[in-house]
């Protein structure tokens, strides 16, 4: 299992467009990917559940990646976060 801890740097926060793009990125992999904030956790494929986490500027999130391609998936997800959020 790979774990990514990340602090949101985008002043707008984690809004609809990057959520959709991140879900699309996650679907490229076979691993199970989840996202959590303050103990609330959901799969990285459920748009409305992610939106409901209400992730804002400077919030800390944790993404877990577990599966056969977890190393590659975690690297891609981390790169996405650093580029977009």
Distance CA 19, CA 51 (A): 8
Q: Catalytic residue, from 7, 9, 15, 69: name it.
A: 15
H or E element: which one contains 33?
strand 32-37
The H-assigned helical ranges of the chain are 16-26, 47-52, 70-84
Q: Does residue 15 carry a catalytic annotation?
A: yes
Residues with active-site annotation: 15
């Amino acid at each position: 299992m790979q774990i990514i801890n990340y602090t949101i740097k985008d002043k707008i926060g984690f809004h609809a467009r990057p959520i959709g793009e991140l879900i699309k990125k996650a679907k490229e992999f076979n691993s199970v990917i989840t996202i959590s904030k303050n103990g609330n956790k959901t799969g990285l494929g459920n748009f409305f559940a992610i939106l409901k986490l209400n992730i804002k500027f400077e919030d800390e999130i944790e993404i877990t990646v577990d599966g056969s391609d977890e190393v590659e998936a975690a690297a891609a997800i981390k790169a996405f976060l650093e580029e977009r959020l």
